[in-house]
């Protein structure tokens, strides 16, 4: 079996969790004996049995692959959609239905909604994402497989360390608006809760990043910020020694940082959004977003009672993710009747 990985956005333009997910998935499959190549768009002689597309491909792309006997598996992060209110989702669903019946076909195909009926299988990171695929795009439930992100072994290897805990709650996130690190820093200052924020902006000229630097400039030791780190052993040690993990982002699919923190034994304080509830259930502490006073109050309460907060279950390892995907691929390739 040879699997080809494809993705529409160059990694050099923006770092983030999706890049990590794709790279770690490739390594996990290779560790399970699956041959994986990056799809070379310029190479008309490249061979493959299955394309795993990270994103939403155009239906024509899918049909052309299937015409050559290549199965197509699709993984799209429904980050924005999954964070909208029920009313907003119903409005979007209504728009999709009206657009399909009223607007010109050439216009509608640009949204690639039909990809959810055309691809052979779909990978959802959470049960919530699966629900969205079925509810919003009328995907057949049996073709949607829930396979969460994994965590690298190094984050588990230090999980039993007895080192003294740091006073800081840790937040690892890109310094961008949807991660709400400015709002977190402000809440930490108001609550007098020490927080260590780790991450880089997409651009150091970004106004939100500049606002973040301005806010933390007067925070003293309450908000620690030294940029980001790419060293995985360093991050594992930080999680292991942290007093807890906090992420109050407005949109997520399934936070890799939260999973890594959970592997290191951190208690979790998360925005009360469906992705988090479907991933951690009652084994995390949550805060509604929107009210600075409420967020501040909840952050302070979590910090003061962190030793009594629920401890999240151990997350999936990347090796297990590779095994699950390999089984899905094998089932697709053995089923000659599937599309």
Residue 105 sits in the same domain as residue 239? no
195 in the same domain as 70 = no
Mean pLDDT of 267-287: 96
Measured distance between the N- and C-terminal CA atoms of the chain, rounded to whole angstroms: 18
What pLDDT sits at residue 103?
A: 87
Residue 283 within any structural domain of the chain: yes
Band (18; pLDDT cuts 50, 70, 90): confident
Interstrand relation of 50-54 and 71-75 (parallel, antiparallel or unpaired): parallel
144 and 192 co-located in one domain:
no
Confidence of residue 159 (pLDDT cuts 50, 70, 90): very low
**Assigned domain for 298 exists:** yes
Local structure of residue 123 (DSSP, 8 states): E
> 197 lies in a domain?
yes
Residues 47 and 25 in one domain: yes
CB atoms within 10 A of CB 80: 12
Count CB atoms within 10 A of the CB of residue 231: 10
Residues 131 and 170 in one domain: no
**Residue 194 near residue 221 (C-beta atoms within 8 A):** yes
Residue 5 clears pLDDT 90, i.e. is over it = yes
The verdict on residue 15 lying in a domain is yes
* Structure-token pair, residue 8: 């529409």
Residues 19 and 86 in one domain: yes
Are 142 and 169 within one domain?
Answer: no
User: What distance in Å separates the CA atoms of residue 322 and residue 6, rounded to the nearest whole number?
Assistant: 17
Is position 59 within any domain? yes
**pLDDT per position as a tens digit, 32-44:** 999 999 999 999 9
Q: What is the pLDDT of residue 120?
A: 97
Name residue, tokens 């606002």. 211
Asked if the structure places residue 339 within a domain, the reply is: no
Q: CA-CA distance, 124 to 233, in Å (whole number)? A: 28
Total domains in the chain come to: 2
- Residue 17 corresponds to which tokens in the numbers above? 């969790």
Looking up residue 124, the CATH number of its domain turns out to be 3.40.50.2000
**Same-domain check for residues 109 and 247:** no
- Backbone phi and psi for residue 45, each to the nearest 5 degrees, phi listed first: -100, 0
Residues 160 and 45 in one domain: no
Could you give the CA distance from residue 123 to residue 54 in angstroms, rounded to a whole number? 9
191, 157: one domain = yes
Residues 184 and 329 in one domain: no
Q: How far is CA 5 from CA 74, 251, 317, in A?
A: 10, 25, 20
* pTM score of the predicted model: 0.89
H/E element holding 234?
A: helix 232-241
- Is 262 among the domain residues? yes
Same domain, 59 and 110: yes
Taking only the tens place, the pLDDT of each residue in 47-106 is 999 999 999 999 999 999 999 999 999 999 999 999 888 999 999 999 999 998 898 888
**Confidence check: pLDDT of 335 > 90:** no
Q: Give the separation between CA 181 and CA 25, rounded to whole angstroms.
A: 28
Rg (CA), the chain: 21
**Domain contains 180:** yes
Could you list the residue range(s) of the whole structural domain that residue 250 is in? 153-308
Q: Which pLDDT tens digit goes with each residue over 187-241?
A: 999 999 999 999 999 889 999 999 999 999 988 899 999 998 888 899 999 999 9
C-alpha distances in Å from residue 296, one per residue of 170, 189, 203, 267? 16, 9, 28, 18
């Amino acid at each position: 079996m040879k699997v080809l990985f494809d993705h529409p956005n160059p990694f050099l333009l923006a770092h983030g969790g999706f890049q990590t997910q794709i790279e770690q998935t490739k390594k996990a499959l290779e560790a399970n004996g699956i041959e994986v190549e990056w799809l070379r768009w310029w190479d008309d002689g490249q061979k493959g049995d299955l394309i795993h597309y990270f994103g939403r491909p155009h239906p024509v792309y899918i049909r052309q692959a299937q015409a050559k006997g290549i199965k197509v598996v699709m993984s799209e992060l429904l980050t924005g959609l999954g964070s909208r209110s029920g009313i907003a989702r119903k409005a979007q669903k209504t728009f999709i239905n009206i657009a399909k019946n009223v607007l010109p076909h050439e216009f509608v195909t640009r949204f690639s909604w039909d990809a959810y009926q055309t691809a052979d299988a779909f990978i959802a990171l959470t049960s919530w994402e699966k629900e969205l695929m079925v509810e919003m795009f009328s995907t057949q439930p049996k073709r949607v497989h829930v396979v969460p992100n994994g965590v690298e072994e190094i984050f588990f290897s230090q999980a039993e360390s007895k080192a003294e805990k740091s006073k800081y709650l840790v937040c690892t996130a890109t310094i961008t608006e949807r991660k709400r690190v400015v709002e977190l820093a402000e809440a930490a200052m108001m609550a007098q809760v020490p927080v260590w924020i780790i991450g880089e902006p997409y651009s150091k000229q970004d106004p939100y990043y500049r606002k973040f630097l301005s806010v933390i400039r007067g925070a003293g030791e309450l908000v620690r910020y030294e940029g980001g780190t790419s060293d995985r052993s360093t991050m594992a040690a930080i999680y292991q020694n942290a007093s807890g993990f906090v992420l109050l982002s407005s949109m997520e699919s399934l936070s890799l940082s939260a999973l890594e923190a959970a592997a290191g034994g951190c208690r979790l304080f998360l925005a009360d959004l469906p992705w988090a509830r479907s991933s951690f259930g009652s084994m995390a502490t949550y805060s509604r977003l929107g009210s600075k006073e409420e967020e501040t109050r909840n952050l302070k309460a979590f910090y003061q009672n962190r030793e009594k907060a629920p401890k999240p279950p151990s997350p999936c390892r990347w090796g297990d993710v590779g095994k699950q995907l390999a089984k899905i691929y094998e089932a697709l390739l053995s089923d000659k009747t599937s599309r």
